[in-house]
Structure 1
């Protein structure tokens, strides 16, 4: 798949980029749905994200990762997903380092993982914010 900017696409065809901005939940839902289309597909895990410096982690990426699946989607790119790096995914999906680490790091699954398993992690991250807020409320 060849990635092009909207300006490049406008040379070839008329592009209508006017559609509503997706919420965090909608972006995560779309990512999970993309992964669920081929639940048995083997994806590459990112190695050792918890041991990387913030700069290294921000720039980390690998071919055929769960983040690559999201970046292949023209809708998520149009919504603002800049590239298939860890940092771009963390910012775009509004995930904490710990949440994204649980989704893409090899320490949980080894060098490869099935897309369906990753989708479960993405869906769990959708609800993490709610539970974190409830825990904070109960702790005072």
Structure 2
């Protein structure tokens, strides 16, 4: 399956949302909670990490994605897509979840989880960025 942003698909197909279907308005916390919930549905699932995010030039970093990543789990959810998640790229996730690139790096990068990590570990990391005061409990260090 080839992944493309909606902006590219509009040239191929007429994409319209019916008038009676409104996009849900989700707070930052609700978006992150939904992502955690999706990850925890299959806690043993192996998810691919994004390769060495911090070493990529900004444009390449923002476009970074991997099949079977924690971002793919989020983007597969129709609720998050209707709420505005445009793709499963690093940049779109940072924008949609309203998180810093640093926080996204901690959740998604291969330097923190190897080539893959379990979905429950990804959920734990998302929980950590959702509640920064809990970082010390999750990772043993302070921000």
Same topology, TM > 0.5: yes
Q: Say yes or no: does 1:99 pair with 2:103.
A: yes
Q: Say yes or no: does 1:85 pair with 2:100.
A: no
- Distance in 2 (CA, whole Å) between partners of 1:122 and 1:53 is 24
The Cα shift of 1:127 comes to 1.2
Consecutive unaligned residues of structure 1, counting only runs of 5 or more, are 132-140
The Cα shift of 1:53 comes to 1.0
> How many residues get paired?
127
The Cα shift of 1:16 comes to 3.8
Corresponding residue number in structure 2 for 1:115? 119
RMSD: 2.5
Give the TM-score taking structure 2 as reference length. 0.80
Q: Which runs of 4+ in 1 moved over 3 A?
A: 1-5, 7-10
Give the TM-score taking structure 1 as reference length. 0.81
Consecutive unaligned residues of structure 2, counting only runs of 5 or more, are 135-143
Corresponding residue number in structure 2 for 1:18? 22
Greater radius of gyration (CA): 1
Corresponding residue number in structure 2 for 1:49? 53
Corresponding residue number in structure 1 for 2:141? none
Q: Report if the CA contact (8 A) 1:45-1:110 is conserved.
A: yes
Greater helix proportion: 1
123, 130, 143: which one pairs with 1:126? 130
Corresponding residue number in structure 2 for 1:134? none
The Cα shift of 1:17 comes to 2.1
Deviations 1:13-34, CA, capped at 9 Å, x for gaps: x674225400000000000000
The Cα shift of 1:109 comes to 1.1
